[in-house]
Amino acid sequence: MAITAQDVNKLRKMTGMGMMDCKKALTEANGDFDKAIEILRKKGEKISAKRADNETKEGVVLIHNNDNGTESTIVAINCETESVAKNDEFNQLANTVLEKAVSEKPADTEALLAIEVEGKAIQEHITQFMGKVGEKIIVSAYERVSGEAVIPYLHNNGKLGVLVALKGVNGAEVEEAGKDVAMQIAAMNPIAVDKEGVPTDLVEKEIEIGKEQARNEGKPEDLVEKIALGKLNRFYKDNTLLNQAFVKDGSKTVAKMLQEINKELTVVDFKRVAIA
């Protein structure tokens, strides 16, 4: 059957896809709009499979803090190119993902992608948009943090975000200190809040590396264990947040900086999300 310009325009408004894509889909579907929409969705799915190995080093990180500052949600939506990252429709889609993450509090990213918006799962909306722009799009991160006070930080490039949960606030003004800690996390990328949070297998690995380094340096075997434990302590100082030197004042640790504000003030959790 003949496909009119009005038909093509109607499908374009329904799907947001390009005019030529809509015309081809309607032609293939013999003018059936439901079939044409399915064809366009399949195009997105094909692009998803075809570009599965493509790098997604662009995108946006978005943060929402609740009204009393005790819970914060962060999501990262990646794409392949800067032009798509700046696309209004891409950003509308990203904000929809964040809104549903905040309102529905899904258990994980998979559950987030299954939430329905206007009768379709978020993943379906993403797949359809992939068909429109022709590149891979993924929700690469979704995290939620709660505490006595949660301080968010979003780097000015919009591609790096941090959430910091504090306890021991006791009425102290912690906004500035929390921002300082968040910026520390952004810059130094610690692996845990304190040494107790470092995975056991990583601790064992660092000890073995320390032992091997000591042996390679010709240290006596009876000192190898002690030297390895000394190197482990250095590892903790470099890689756990509270033990790191505070970037604004290297004479004190992050833990010490917080204690100077309030003796009980400390970090209980953090999340660092970056598009890379």
For 122, residues 6+ apart whose C-beta sits below 8 A from its C-beta are: 96, 97, 100, 112, 113, 114, 115, 116, 139
Beta-bridged to residue 76, according to DSSP, are: 61, 141
E-only strand ranges, 147-235:
149-154, 160-167
- Report domain extents, the chain: 5-50, 52-146
Q: How many CB atoms lie within 10 A of CB 20?
A: 10
Average of per-residue pLDDT values in the chain: 95
Q: Does domain 5-50 have CATH number 3.30.360.10?
A: no
pLDDT digits (tens, 9 = 90+) for 57-98: 999 999 999 999 999 999 999 999 999 999 999 999 999 999
CB atoms within 10 A of CB 189: 12
Note the pTM of the prediction, 2 decimals. 0.87
CATH topology agreement for domains 5-50 and 52-146 = no
For the domain bounded by 52-146, which CATH number is listed?
3.30.479.20
Q: Lowest mean pLDDT: which of 49-53, 132-136, 180-184, 271-275?
A: 49-53
pLDDT above 80: residue 1:
no
